[in-house]
A and B are shown apart, each in its own frame.
Chain A
Amino acid sequence: MLTQFSAMMIFALCLSVVFAITQRSEPKLMIRFGAFCFALCVGGTIVASWLMYFIKR
Chain B
Amino acid sequence: MATPTNAPAQASAQSAATSSSLPILCLIAGWLVPGGGHFMLRKPIRGALLFIAIVGMFAVGIALQGQIYSPNTGDLLDILGFIGQLGTGLLYLLAKMFDWGQASVTIALGDYGTKFIVVAGLLNVVAAIDAHSLANGRKAS
Give A residues with C-beta under 8 Å from B.
2, 4, 7, 10-11, 13-15, 17-19, 21-22, 25-26
Stretch in contact with the other chain, from B2-10, B12-20, B47-55, B73-81: B47-55
Give the residues in chain A near B54, CB-CB below 8 Å.
14, 18
Across the interface, do B116 and A25 meet the contact criterion of CB distance under 8 Å? no
- Number of contact residues on B: which range applies? 20 to 34
Q: Mark B41-73, 1 if CB is under 8 A from A, else 0.
A: 000001001101110110010011000000000
A4, A13, A18, A21 interface centre (most CB from chain B within 10 Å):
A18
Main secondary structure of the interface of A (DSSP, over half): helix
Across the interface, do A18 and B116 meet the contact criterion of CB distance under 8 Å? no
Given A2-B109, A25-B139 in contact, is the A18-B50 Cβ separation under 8 Å? yes
Complex partner residue of A17 from B49, B60, B64, CB under 8 angstroms: B49
Complex partner residue of B57 from A4, A14, A25, A26, CB under 8 angstroms: A14
Main secondary structure of the interface of B (DSSP, over half): helix
Across the interface, do A17 and B53 meet the contact criterion of CB distance under 8 Å? yes
Is B86 on the interface with A (CB-CB < 8 A)?
no
Give the residues in chain B near A10, CB-CB below 8 Å.
56-57, 60
Give the residues in chain A near B116, CB-CB below 8 Å.
7, 11
CA distance A11 to B57 in the complex (A): 7
Chain A residue nearest in CB terms to B46: A21
Is B119 on the interface with A (CB-CB < 8 A)?
yes
CA distance A18 to B37 in the complex (A): 14
Give the residues in chain B near A19, CB-CB below 8 Å.
126
Across the interface, do A22 and B56 meet the contact criterion of CB distance under 8 Å? no
Q: What distance in Å separates the Cβ of A45 from its nearest Cβ neighbour in chain B?
A: 13
Q: Which residues of chain B in 114-141 are interfacial with respect to chain A, using CB atoms and an 8 Å cutoff?
A: 116, 119-120, 123, 126-127, 129-130, 139-141
